[in-house]
């Protein structure tokens, strides 16, 4: 049924949020006009209330639903007519119950949720936006209570699955993280539980300068020490230490199929490539693609699936001994942890290992299999041309408009994107098809709920300011690009900047590169190929002909290069 114009719907939503309790005229006025009511506010409010009363008009033996109460109004609603009332009733009923019954009641309460509360344009009212935040927190607390009750009754795997997405959205919530650790440990995934604590400790220190609370630290010590049952379960299960699969993973089906096909193993030593390299520019979605492939291949690697970053949190390459020690701990090995011991283990086990963000060949050469049953999936910005035989998969191409919009809508809100599709298109085009940039835009808009998409699109319209806007919390596109840039030889950085300044957006040819670099084509091709090796230049698919190759600077690298280097003009030839 149509609920009327925007301000009328604000009145109805405010009354429903406090169903069966009086809501003052001042509160309704503030919800509708955000503290700046017109002179006719009271009269206008009476019109909206009358319209709501007419909307709800029906034969009711208990009298009218919407009544005037002194300084405000009250809307009478039965519990079975409003999911919010039923949710609150079920949560109250679960308090003090034994775990099995509590978990069942809380599960019923959570099943009532069908999406974000007060969605669409209603959150343009600051009062309703705050109410939506309170409702989300109530839902989150109910999820935590359900997880704790479910764990008490032995439902560790169900909790792992149920909390996965919440951990990503609320990484600093300690009660949630504690339940996640306990669930992982109860599911025989002790190494992942310990890693979850370590990730939380580092995040808390970085964001707030704090240490985990006493209860969280005690949980960590309990898991670290283990007991007979925990050790027995862990020994019976293969190690699975992977980041969560992205629920909003979008596009790149062809590349995903190639990875899965190359890594698929049926137990024969010659069944597939022992190592696969997925390479491409920063922000192109390599890590997300690799993790998605590893999740899909769970039934093929009976001895485990591991994810090991080859850089620390600041982007610096990790020492080889530290990586080897982590691999030994993850696989439960004792004794020597050198390259020989690692390769021996990998050859004997059907395991998949993701080595993420390799800085160079030397960092990974000692870790690659020399045959056997194990498989390694490398991700790197550069081509790592000095490595021995392996399968190479090019980085995913930029996302198209449809996939970019889908990703943006999943983070910023489908109603919001649908309401201003033109502005949403401008945003994703400014991101140049980079999954990371689109994701950061969506994450930022999810926080800036009151910023219209059109305003954010206007901010991105100036190429000089795009990278300043692509920041959400501790995730910065500029910082990611800077780390890759700092690893370039100085002259290569200047070459990339010259290409950015001297070529147009989109594919360019060797003659264009030669003109931009101020050199002959023989030297230009060496420069471009060196930048391809470094992950700064790509070769667009379908752009190689019998006559000439085509090249491209990814959109965000082009923007960064133009900002990064102040160049002297290239002298005119002739």
- In this prediction, residue 125 carries a pLDDT of 80
* 408 neighbors 426 (Cβ within 8 angstroms): no
Q: What is the spatial distance between Cα 178 and Cα 222, in angstroms, rounded to a whole number?
A: 12
Q: Cβ distance 259 to 369 under 8 Å?
A: no
The values of phi and psi at residue 352, to 5°, are: -115, 125
Q: Which long-range contacts (CB under 8 A, 24 or more apart) does 123-128 make?
A: 123/449, 123/450, 124/6, 124/450, 125/10, 125/31, 125/32, 125/34, 126/34, 126/450, 127/14, 127/27, 127/30, 127/31, 127/34, 128/10, 128/13, 128/14, 128/17, 128/31
Q: What is the DSSP letter of 246?
A: P
Count the alpha carbons within 13 Å of 473 in the hemisphere toward its beta carbon: 17
| pLDDT in single tens digits along all 574 residues of the chain | 567 788 888 888 888 888 888 888 888 888 888 767 888 888 888 888 888 888 876 555 566 788 887 778 888 888 888 888 899 899 888 887 888 888 899 999 998 888 888 877 787 787 788 888 888 888 888 998 999 888 888 888 888 888 888 888 888 888 888 888 888 888 888 888 888 888 888 888 777 777 777 677 777 877 877 644 444 444 445 667 787 766 556 565 666 777 888 887 544 444 455 888 888 878 777 888 888 888 888 778 888 888 888 988 777 888 888 888 888 877 877 655 788 888 888 888 888 999 998 888 888 988 988 878 889 999 988 888 888 778 888 776 777 788 888 888 888 888 888 889 899 999 989 888 888 888 889 888 988 888 889 999 998 888 878 888 888 877 788 888 888 788 888 888 889 889 988 888 888 888 999 999 999 989 999 999 888 888 888 876 544 444 567 888 888 888 888 877 544 444 444 4
Backbone φ, ψ for residue 482 (5° rounding): -60, -40
SS (H, E, C) 425-462: HHHHHHCCCCHHHHHHHHHHHHHCCCCCHHHHHHHHCC
Residue-wise burial string across 156-168, b where 16 or more C-beta atoms lie within 10 A, e elsewhere: bebbbebbeebbe
pLDDT at 41: 85
pLDDT computed for residue 20 by the predictor: 84
Query: Using CA atoms, how far apart are residues 260 and 244, in angstroms rounded to an integer?
Result: 18
288 backbone dihedrals φ, ψ, rounded to 5°: -60, -40
Tokens describing residue 563: 């900002």
What is the structure's pLDDT at 311? 86
Contact criterion met (CB below 8 Å) for 264 and 273 = no
Read off the tokens for 150. 């479910």
Say what the pLDDT of residue 552 is: 85
Reduce the DSSP state of residue 361 to 3 states and report it: helix
The pLDDT, as a whole number, for residue 335 is 57
115: left (phi over 0), alpha (psi -120 to 50) or beta: left
| Cα 151–Cα 153–Cα 159 angle in degrees, nearest 5 | 35
Closest CA to 495 of 564, 541, 574: 564
What's residue 415's pLDDT? 86
Task: Output the six-digit token pair for 305.
Answer: 């699936």
Whether residue 527 contacts residue 517, with contact meaning beta carbons closer than 8 Å, is answered with yes
What the block records as the tokens of 9 is 């719907």
State whether residue 56 is helix, strand or coil: coil
Cβ-contact 391, 261 below 8 angstroms: no
């Amino acid at each position: 049924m149509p609920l009327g114009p925007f301000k009328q719907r604000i009145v109805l939503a405010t009354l429903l949020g406090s169903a069966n309790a009086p809501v003052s005229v001042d509160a309704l006025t503030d919800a509708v006009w955000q503290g700046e009511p017109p002179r006719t506010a009271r009269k206008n409010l009476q019109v909206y209330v009358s319209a709501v009363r007419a909307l709800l008009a029906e034969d009711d033996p208990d009298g009218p639903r919407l009544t005037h109460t002194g300084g405000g109004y009250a809307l009478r609603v039965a519990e079975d007519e409003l999911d919010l009332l039923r949710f609150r009733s079920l949560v109250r009923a679960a308090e003090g119950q034994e775990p099995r019954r509590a978990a069942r009641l809380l599960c019923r309460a959570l099943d009532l949720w069908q999406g974000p509360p007060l969605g669409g344009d209603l959150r343009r009212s600051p009062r309703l936006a705050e109410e939506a935040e309170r409702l989300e927190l109530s839902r989150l607390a109910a999820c935590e209570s359900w997880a704790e009750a479910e764990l008490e009754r032995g439902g560790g795997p169900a909790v792992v699955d149920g909390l996965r997405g919440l951990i990503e959205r609320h990484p600093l919530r300690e009660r949630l993280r504690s339940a996640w650790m306990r669930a992982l440990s109860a599911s025989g995934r002790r190494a992942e539980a310990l890693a979850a604590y370590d990730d939380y400790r580092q995040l808390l220190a970085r964001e707030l300068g704090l240490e985990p609370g006493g209860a969280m630290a005690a949980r960590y010590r309990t898991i670290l020490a283990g007991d007979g049952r925990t050790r027995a379960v862990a020994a019976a299960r293969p190690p699975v230490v992977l980041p969560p699969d992205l629920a909003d993973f979008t596009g790149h089906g062809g590349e995903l199929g190639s990875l899965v096909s190359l890594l698929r193993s049926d137990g024969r030593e010659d069944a597939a490539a022992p190592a696969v390299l997925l390479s491409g520019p920063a922000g192109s979605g390599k890590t997300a693609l690799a993790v998605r492939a590893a999740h899909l291949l769970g039934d093929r690697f009976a001895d485990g699936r591991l994810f090991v970053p080859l850089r620390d949190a600041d982007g610096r390459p990790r020492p080889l001994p530290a990586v080897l020690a982590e691999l030994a701990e993850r696989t439960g090995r004792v004794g020597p942890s050198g390259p020989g011991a690692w390769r021996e283990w990998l050859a004997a086990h059907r395991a998949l290992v993701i080595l993420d963000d390799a800085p160079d060949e030397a960092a990974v050469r000692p870790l690659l299999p020399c045959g056997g049953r194990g498989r390694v999936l490398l991700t790197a910005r550069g081509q790592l041309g000095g490595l021995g035989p392996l399968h190479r998969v090019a980085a995913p191409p930029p996302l198209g408009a449809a996939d970019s919009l889908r990703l943006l809508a999943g983070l910023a809100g489908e109603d919001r994107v649908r309401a201003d599709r033109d502005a949403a298109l401008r945003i994703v085009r400014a991101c140049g098809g980079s999954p990371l940039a689109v994701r950061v835009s969506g994450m930022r808009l999810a926080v800036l709920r009151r910023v219209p998409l059109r305003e954010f699109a206007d901010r991105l319209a100036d190429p000089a300011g795009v990278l300043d806007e692509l920041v959400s919390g501790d995730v910065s596109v500029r910082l990611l690009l800077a780390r890759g840039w700092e690893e370039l030889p100085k002259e290569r950085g200047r070459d990339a900047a010259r290409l950015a300044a001297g070529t147009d957006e989109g594919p360019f040819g060797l003659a264009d590169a030669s003109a931009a670099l101020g050199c002959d084509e023989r030297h230009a091709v060496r420069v471009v190929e060196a930048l391809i090796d470094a992950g700064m230049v790509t070769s667009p698919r379908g752009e190689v002909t019998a006559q000439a190759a085509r090249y491209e600077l990814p959109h965000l690298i082009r923007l960064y290069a133009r900002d990064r280097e102040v160049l002297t003009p290239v002298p005119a030839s002739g």
